[in-house]
Amino acid sequence: MKAAPVAFLAFLSCQVFGQSAAEVQVGVCIDPDRLEAAQAAGFDYVELGVTRVAGLTDVAFRELISRVGQLRIPVAAANTFLPGNLKIVGPSIDRERQMEYVAKALSRMKQLGVSLIVLGSGGARRVPEGFSHEEALAQMADFCRRIAPLAGDAGITIAIEPLRHQETNLINTTRQGLDFVKAVDSPQIRLLVDYYHLAEEGESPQILIEAGGTIVHTHIANPKGRVYPLSPDESDYAGFFECLCRIGYAGRISIEASTPDFSAQAPRSIETIRSGLLCRGK
């Protein structure tokens, strides 16, 4: 007897645990100049970069709002929250500058309709050599508690993203991210799980079971080259999808990766993800 395909095993698991994965939306992290291409490819939403939008002139931002208003899909999420030179840990943080930037960024994201911002920003949270990691965690927690009320007023949730150790030295695993979110203890500060970083750090997808409802957003890329996922057997996506099914995840999953041919690979990648998550019925 032939072994069951991994996608079918994920299907069975989702059926056993009663998850209606068709509720999961598939989006893409993309530059503002590719909005229409993302819509044409079949994505459910787009995820923009906060720093790029925050850096636009007022005129350019109004033009972006106009373009977004003509889309049939929303700008539901945003990433790259903080520029690398806006430190939130270390010996020389500037709280006033932090809050000025955050207020502007949140205002612009709200105007675009964004409901979730990813706090990855590895450079901003990189701990300087010789500085206490414990103190850095306390500083980052303080930052999150200070911005939480502003995010709440804007109707935006902040999702902490664990990043592989090559990108930062603070909160590299989902376990560490979960512990951090629990310590901050704010309804506006939740957790993102990125399949790419999970795989790069060699962390088991089973951690998603423990994280459960703390997870409000997900990212995905093929770890082999950080490219668009195109086939269910190129990586252990099934294990990741199975755990999402088991926790009843019904949020969003954004492709955060590179591609040499967006128009050809984007629809194929969407189908790979939807098949793994039983989203054929969308």
Q: Which residues pair with 27 in a beta bridge?
A: 45, 254
User: How high is the pLDDT of residue 61?
Assistant: 98
First-to-last C-alpha distance (Å) of the chain: 32
User: How high is the pLDDT of residue 187?
Assistant: 98
Length of the chain: 282
Listed range (11-20, 25-34, 170-179, 262-271) with the worst mean pLDDT? 11-20
Mean pLDDT of 85-104: 98
Closest among 193, 281, 175, 200 to 240, alpha carbons compared: 193
SS3 125: coil
Does pLDDT of 241 surpass 80? yes
**278: confidence class by pLDDT, cuts 50, 70, 90:** low
Position 253, amino acid? I
b (16+ CB within 10 A) / e for 146-168: ebbebbeebebbbbbbbbbeebb
Does pLDDT of 165 surpass 90? yes
User: How high is the pLDDT of residue 273?
Assistant: 96
Residue 108's Cβ-count burial label (10 Å; 0-12, 13-18, 19+) is: buried
Residues 6 or more apart from 58 whose CB is under 8 A from it?
A: none
Superfamily of domain 6-276: Divalent-metal-dependent TIM barrel enzymes (3.20.20.150)
User: How high is the pLDDT of residue 128?
Assistant: 98
Q: At what angle do helices 6-16 and 262-276 cross, to 10 degrees?
A: 50
**22: confidence class by pLDDT, cuts 50, 70, 90:** very low
Task: State the DSSP string of 212-255.
Answer: GGGEEEEEE-BTTTTB----TTSS-HHHHHHHHHHTT--SEEEE
Position 254, amino acid? S
Cα–Cα separations (whole angstroms), residue 37 to 29, 30, 269: 12, 10, 14
Query: What's the CA gap between 63 and 55, in Å, rounded?
Result: 14
Mean pLDDT of 17-30: 72
Segments making up each domain of the chain, as ranges:
6-276
User: How high is the pLDDT of residue 149?
Assistant: 98
Query: Longest Cα pair distance anywhere in the chain, in angstroms?
Result: 65
* Residues 256-277: tens digit of each pLDDT: 999 999 999 999 999 999 999 8
Mean pLDDT of 245-250: 94
Query: What's the CA gap between 93 and 80, in Å, rounded?
Result: 19
Retrieve residue 142's tokens. 């303080």
Mean pLDDT of 74-91: 98
Name the average pLDDT for the chain: 92
User: How high is the pLDDT of residue 279?
Assistant: 35
User: How high is the pLDDT of residue 23?
Assistant: 75
Query: What's the CA gap between 14 and 8, in Å, rounded?
Result: 10
**117: confidence class by pLDDT, cuts 50, 70, 90:** very high
Does pLDDT of 13 surpass 60? no
